[in-house]
């Protein structure tokens, strides 16, 4: 076995030992099922692991990750994850988490071609198009960071436009949809204060009839 793979198994054993020490009944409980409180829509970036950066044990967060934490209604993978989390697991919170230094966002505000990924990056370019007048007069660092934040806010809006999310709101207050940004330089989360938990927070043209 290559050393690089061996390290994964050694890390797994260390993880098992730590969990057994801190949460003796955890694995027995997880073996019976899951009831996570959160759905996490995050970036695929290796520096932004949902459970580690929130210090939560296994079973707490249902996770979907893609490049630049984009919510696309034609993405069967994301929509399947969201549908299961919202309608079956009945998560109370959906967290859209972006991060400063995101390569997908950097690609969107550049004019470079990156091959196959260009089609995906176009979804982020649409966010840039919506906010270009606010961004183009700023310095590069501010522009990059604000674009990361705008992208998260737009994906929160996209999540709120999903029919089965709105169906759950008709039955109660959940799920809450939150937008946050992770700073890879200091390890801290920033709340963007764009939480939505009812059709009142959705543009009327995207609200489905009762």
Give the catalytic positions in this structure. Answer: 43, 45, 47, 99, 102
Element (H, E) at 62: strand 61-66
169 near 207, Cβ under 8 Å? no
Inter-residue contact 48 to 182 (CB < 8 Å): yes
Distant-in-sequence, close-in-space partners of 134: CB < 8 Å, separation ≥ 6: 146
Q: Extract long-range pairs of 14-21: CB within 8 Å, 24+ residues apart.
A: 19/57, 19/58
Per the CB < 8 A criterion, the answer to whether 69 and 96 are in contact is yes
Pick from 107, 102, 99: nearest CA to 128:
107
Rounded to 10 degrees, what is the CA torsion of 49, 104, 182, 81?
-50
Give the separation between CA 29 and CA 191, rounded to whole angstroms: 31
Give the span between the Cα atoms of 29 and 97, in whole angstroms.
28
């Amino acid at each position: 076995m290559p050393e690089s793979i061996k390290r994964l198994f050694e890390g797994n054993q260390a993880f098992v030992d730590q969990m057994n020490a801190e949460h003796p009944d955890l694995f027995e409980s997880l073996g019976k099922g899951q009831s996570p409180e959160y759905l996490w829509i995050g970036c695929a970036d290796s520096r932004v692991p949902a459970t580690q950066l929130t210090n939560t044990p296994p079973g707490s967060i249902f996770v979907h990750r893609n490049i630049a934490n984009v919510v696309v209604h034609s993405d069967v993978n994301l929509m399947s994850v969201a549908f299961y989390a919202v309608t079956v697991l009945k998560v109370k919170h959906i967290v859209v988490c972006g991060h400063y230094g995101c390569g997908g966002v950097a690609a969107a505000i550049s004019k470079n071609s990156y091959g196959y990924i260009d089609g995906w990056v176009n979804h982020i370019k649409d966010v840039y198009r919506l906010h270009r007048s606010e961004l183009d007069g700023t310095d590069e660092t501010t522009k990059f960071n604000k674009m990361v934040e705008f992208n998260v806010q737009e994906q929160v809006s996209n999540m709120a436009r999903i029919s089965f999310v709105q169906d759950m709101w008709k039955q109660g207050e959940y799920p809450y949809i939150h937008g946050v940004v992770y700073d890879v330089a200091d390890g801290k989360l920033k709340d963007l204060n764009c939480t939505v938990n009812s059709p009142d927070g959705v543009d009327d043209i995207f609200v489905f009839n009762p």
